[in-house]
Structure 1
Amino acid sequence: MTGITPVCAPELVTYADELAALLVDTVNGGSSVGFLAPLDRDTAAAWWRERAGAVEAGLLQVWIARDAERVAGTIGLVRTQLPNARHRAEVAKLMVRPSARGRGLGRSLLDAVERSAAGTGVTLLVLDTESGSPAERLYRSAGWTECGSVPDYAGDPAGVLKPTTLYYKAIGSAHPAPSR
């Protein structure tokens, strides 16, 4: 593994085809990350390219992990611009290539996001995942706290409605409210 690196908007476009392959493998392999199967590479690559504007605007950060040949994993951090919510962000699209699973890459991607977010003043992270999925074990072992579930929240890759579990993690240190 060559390490985990953040990507800027032009790099995201450059890696769009590799990220598309990862997204297609993830969705067509049964993981729920917002898409229905079968997902084709052109649609997946276009989706990644469309994220470049959000990366450029600072609303989304994307990290990738590469092995010797290709992107082996990715994770995103979605920032909010709401004045009362700048202390929090959402972790999104954590994906690890099936052949790279079980080696700590998912945990390393989470750690990279948490460190980066804390370094920018974020003190609360949130995420959601399909209830009962293998991802829940990862989040719990990484110190995330389950805070509830929503029935029939999203369709799995086959389109079957499934519950989603919500998680949060306090990171960094909270800043005192400004005095008036």
Structure 2
Amino acid sequence: MFDTNTATQHLPRFSDILINSVESGALIGHIIPVNIAAVASYWEDVVASIGAGERVLMCATIDSEIAGTVQLYLSRETNAPHRGEVYKLIVHQQFRNRGIGEALMKAVEVEARKHARTLLLLDAVQDGEAERLSRRLGWQEIGVVPRHFVDPWGGFKSSVYMMRCLDS
């Protein structure tokens, strides 16, 4: 877990991982050509959200280099203190296929339990790596939204909403 100070120190690396992922085809809120200022602003907003206690940022490192990240948004709604949302599971392309995504998703569950979150939600591109990983880890499909995203090159993609109930 990264607090605001540690996260701030690593803002350039977070931007690098996000840009690398978009340029590799990931659907994570940005398109090609990547707007570098928008990516930097996004990560600054994430740090502010960490400071406000709304979000937890987890990172995986290999040889002291950040290889991937994932975020757990802690619902602030008074009628949903049990709910968390998984945001932006991103692994730098040079570190993919080493189990980092799975490790980060398992870390999300551990952190969710620490915050008394028993229902987790996420959305992923239909038929993408994140959907396959989530299904393998026991997540259940809630539904599909057709043409929900555009990929980095502007093509429409559908999203799959998924949930996971954790033991209380």
TM-score clears 0.5: yes
Code of the aligned partner of 1:143: G
Task: Tell me what 1:52 maps to.
Answer: 47
1:81, CA displacement in angstroms?
Answer: 1.1
- Partners of 1:87 and 1:98 lie apart in 2 by 33
Task: Tell me what 1:18 maps to.
Answer: 13
Task: Tell me what 1:103 maps to.
Answer: 98
Q: Name stretches of at least 5 consecutive residues in structure 1 with no aligned partner.
A: 1-5, 174-180
Code of the aligned partner of 1:60: R
1:50, CA displacement in angstroms?
Answer: 2.3
Which aligned runs of 4 or more in structure 1 are off by greater than 3 angstroms? 40-43
- Partners of 1:141 and 1:118 lie apart in 2 by 20
Code of the aligned partner of 1:31: A
Task: Tell me what 2:84 maps to.
Answer: 89
The reply on whether 1:155 has 2:150 as its aligned counterpart is: yes
Task: Tell me what 2:33 maps to.
Answer: 38
1:40, CA displacement in angstroms?
Answer: 4.5
TM-score, L = length of structure 1 = 0.89
% same residue? 32
CA deviations on 1:68-113 (whole Å, 9 max, x unpaired) are 2521000001111111111001000001111211111101000111
- Partners of 2:47 and 2:38 lie apart in 1 by 15
Q: Name stretches of at least 5 consecutive residues in structure 2 with no aligned partner.
A: none
Code of the aligned partner of 1:169: R
1:42, CA displacement in angstroms?
Answer: 4.1
1:43, CA displacement in angstroms?
Answer: 3.4
The answer on whether the counterparts of 1:78 and 1:91 sit within 8 Å (CA) in structure 2 is yes
Task: Tell me what 2:67 maps to.
Answer: 72
Count of matched residue positions in the alignment of Structure 1 and Structure 2? 168
